[in-house]
Copies of this chain bind each other. A is one copy, B any other.
Amino acid sequence: MPVISLKTPSAAYDITIASGLLRTLAPRLNKLAKGRPFIVTSPEIWGLWHKQVLASFKQAPTVLFLPSGEAHKRLSSVESLAQQLATAGADRDSLLIAFGGGVIGDVTGFLAAIYMRGIPYVQIPTTLLAQVDSSIGGKTGVNLVAGKNLVGSFNHPLAVLADTDILATLPPEQLRAGLQESIKAGIIRDPKLFKYMEQNADAILKGDAKALTHVVTASVRVKADVVANDERESGLRMILNYGHTIGHAIEAATSYKQLLHGEAVGWGSIAATHLGLSRKLITQAQSDRIIALILRYGPLSPFKATAAKLVALTSGDKKNRSGTLSFILPTGIGTVQIVRDVTQPELLAATESMLALMRAGTGQP
């Protein structure tokens, strides 16, 4: 059973990746905290998994629901959940359980950070994206109209329990979208993972348990390693944003509705790869290999937005400190570099190349 320990200046906890974790949840939680458990989940997830979750509890935990979708990742949801916690008698010793995908994890982690100025919580990610990325590292938060994740907190869980049984039931498009974050992990820091994903694409995309567990474990290891070295994103951790600056712009341009997060990251990674190539940080062959792998785990849904619009939207991204445009660019397969002087024309050209590829690949305008 792969267990990855993550230690930062503010927290130390285990990420467990295994089959059967849901069925043994109550004794696992009991080892972590004694407080009364409150599960935050979506009606869909709960409908699928409540029997397995409840099986190990003597007394059923209180369940709070957050509707699915990025549109609900807002302070109003946090307020509503906090109000429900207070009404149900949750106190400082209570334990929150984030049982769902990235939105559930981000909202619940933030709720745990601010309810009564902080109560403990556990992450049980139920999408591939959440298992390999968003549940790890303590970044929590919600969106503003002005942009994604603009309010939030660094708040680590007591543990992350990634039950791989869940992956077998994922819709194919969610699986593919989540795998874009694993490809990102390979590009930025793990050439072996990148190669494994090249060589085992069929098995992974078919949902083969062994192959997926390998990919999840390797991806988590990359993220945990980066976060352990730079918890608060003062330097190294920025590399996890590979593909995310343009990715966030795409999500904003499409009102967070049209694409899955992983798909937007896939497109953003392609733009970043073009930028790396135009700066001659990578070779044409390396660029081809990266883009081929991203598309192999596609198709990425197309969208309508001009390059000018996307570039304009990046200036509101919080990764840009004091007006400079910082980008994470590949310098090979498995290494990246933080480039702080990217100009608007350069970015525009790379974004145009990405859009051209989209038009060529899909026949959409």
Q: Which residues of A contact B (CB under 8 A)?
A: 75-76, 78-79, 82-83, 86-87, 91-93, 110, 113-118, 139, 141, 144-147, 150-154, 316, 318, 320-322
Contacts and interface: CB of A to CB of B under 8 A. Distances in A.
Contacts of A93: 321-322
Q: Which 10 residue pairs are nearest across A and B when measured between Cβ atoms?
A: A86-B146, A114-B151, A75-B79, A117-B152, A116-B318, A75-B75, A82-B151, A83-B144, A83-B146, A86-B150
How many of these chains are in the complex? 2
Contacts of A146: 82-83, 86-87
Nearest to A320: B91
A144 B81 CA distance: 11
Contacts of A115: 150-151
Given A114-B141, A139-B117, A141-B114, A150 B320 contact: no
A38 to B, nearest CB: 14
Nearest to A152: B117
A110 B115 CA distance: 12
B113 A153 contact: yes
A86 to B, nearest CB: 3
A165 B144 CA distance: 38
A182 to B, nearest CB: 24
Contacts of A79: 75-76, 144, 151
A315 to B, nearest CB: 9
A118 B10 CA distance: 15
A72 to B, nearest CB: 14
Given A75-B75, A147-B86, A151-B82, A117 B91 contact: no
A118 B154 contact: yes
Contact of A322 (B78, B91, B322): B91
Given A76-B76, A92-B318, A115-B151, 4 more contacts: A82-B146, A82-B150, A114-B141, A114-B151
B75 A154 contact: no
A139 to B, nearest CB: 7
Contacts of A110: 114
B318 A114 contact: no
Q: Which of A79, A93, A147, A316 has the most C-beta atoms of chain B within 10 angstroms of its own C-beta?
A: A79
A362 to B, nearest CB: 33
